[in-house]
Amino acid sequence: MRLPSGVVTMLAVVLNSGAGLAAPPPSQSANATPPQLPPGVSATLWRLSVPKGMEPTPERVALGEKLFREKRLSVDNTVACMTCHEPELGFTDGKPLSEGVKQQKVARNSPTVLNALFNATQFWDGRAATLEDQAKLPILNPREMGMPDPDTVMKKVRGIPEYVTDFQKVFGREPNFDDLAVAIAAFERMQFSGDARFDKFITGDSKALTASEKNGWALFNGKARCNSCHAGNAVSPLFSDQKFHNIGVAAHKQDFVTLARKGVQVVRTGDEKQIDELALNSEFSELGRFLVTKQENDVGSFKTPILRNVGITGPYMHDGSLTTLWDVMDHYNKGGVANPYLDGGMQRLGLTEPEIDDLVAFLFTLTDTKFDKLNKEQLAKQRARKNTRPERDNAIALGKKGNLGDLAPNPDLNVKNPADLGFYGDVTPVTNTKQR
C-alpha cells in the first residue's frame, strides 16, 4: 500500500483528529451479539474485535458487499476491492504483487480479508487502526483505485441513484465517505473462518490429521520455532502475535543497508512531506513499519500475518517473493537474510527435508473446509515446485557454513509431544518421522 504525499497528509489529519468526519452512523439494529461462529473463532474475541456502533447488521453487510464488488469506486471503473481480494481465492488475488488501475503494480502482496477483523492493525505496515480506516485508503491510492479525494468519490456515488436509495435505507441519510467505509467494513467483519481440519483435531478428533501433519504441529511448536511469532492456542487462535518483525525478506534483493541508512537520515530531518514521499517510493516502502513509527528498530519490519488459510493465500510475504510454503520454510531454515535490523529471534533451524514436508503438511490443515477443493489444488501445485526452491540453502540451515547460533531444541516425540504443552490440551502421540 503506497499513498501520494497529499493523500497521506490528508488522511493523517482525518484519521488522527477526526476533523471532517460525518456524524457517527446510526446504530440501527446494531448489537454486539456474535453471528454463528465456527469452532476456531472465539465469540469473546469477536466481541472484543468489533467496535461499539460498528456491528455488522444485515443491512450494512449487504450494502458493504455491493460496494466491495463495485468497480465504479475506481477512477476508470475497472477495479473494485474484490479485484485484489477475490472471495473464491480466499480473498486474495493469487499474485505476488497486486495490480490496480491502468494495470499498475502496487508495492505489496494482497493480504486476505478472511479474519482481518481480528487484526490489531491493518496493512502490512499497520498504518490503519480499523477496518473502516483501511477501507478508505485503497480507493484513494493512485495505483490501486486511483480516486483523487473523498469528495470526488462521493460525488460519483451520489450520482448513482441506487446508492442514494441504499444509503438512505441503511444509514438514513445521503451517501458519505465514512458510511461507505462502515458498510465495507461490516461486510469484511463477516468474513471469518475457523472450521479447519486442525480445529477438528484440536477439539478431540485425533484422526482429523495424518501422522505427518501431527508431526508438523509438533515441529511448529518445537524445533521449527514457528510458535515464537505464530503461536496458536485458545487465546490466540489466529496464529499471529500481531507484532512487526524484520525477518530479512526486504534484504534479499537489494542493498538494504544503504536503503535503510538513507531512510533513517530523511526521518531524522523531520521533514514529514519527504517521509510521505518515501512511503510512495517502491524502493523505500521496503522499510515497512519504520515509515509509520519513525523508530529505527522498526526498519524492515512487517506485520506477522495470521496463518489461518495460509495454504490458499500465497504467494507469501509482504512482497509476494516466496511462491510456496516450502520456500517460506527454506527462508526460515537458514535464519532469514542477514541485515543490521534482523529480528533477534531469527536463527538457523536445521530442519531436514522430511521435517519441512511435515511442517508444510500441517500448515495446509489450517484451511477452512469450505476451501477444501482449492486447498488440495494449491498443495498439489506447490508440491510440484518442490524441487525448484531459490531460498534453499542446506549448508547454512544445517550449520555447515555461517554462524547463526545454536539450534532450537529438537523435540523428542517419544517422550513428550510439545503440542501437549499448549492451551489446546492433549494431543494424541505421534510417531517419529524416521519411524513412519
Q: Which residues are catalytic?
A: 144
Amino acid of residue 79: V
The residue behind cell 544445517 is 398
* b/e sequence 218-227, b meaning 16+ C-beta within 10 Å: bbbbbbbbbb
Handedness of CA 376, 196, 132, 162 (dihedral sign): positive
- Closest to 321 in 3D by CA, of 96, 148, 171, 165: 96
User: In angstroms, rounded to a whole number, what is the distance separating the alpha carbons of residues 81 and 361?
Assistant: 31
User: In angstroms, rounded to a whole number, what is the distance separating the alpha carbons of residues 158 and 165?
Assistant: 10
User: In angstroms, rounded to a whole number, what is the distance separating the alpha carbons of residues 289 and 292?
Assistant: 5
Counting DSSP H helices and E strands in the chain, the numbers are: 18, 2
User: In angstroms, rounded to a whole number, what is the distance separating the alpha carbons of residues 4 and 239?
Assistant: 33
Which residues, 6+ apart, have CB-to-CB distance to 334 below 8 Å? 348, 391, 393, 396, 397, 402, 404
> Omega before 411 cis (within 30°)?
no
- Closest to 366 in 3D by CA, of 252, 240, 215, 196: 196
User: In angstroms, rounded to a whole number, what is the distance separating the alpha carbons of residues 213 and 223?
Assistant: 15
- Closest to 90 in 3D by CA, of 291, 347, 308: 308
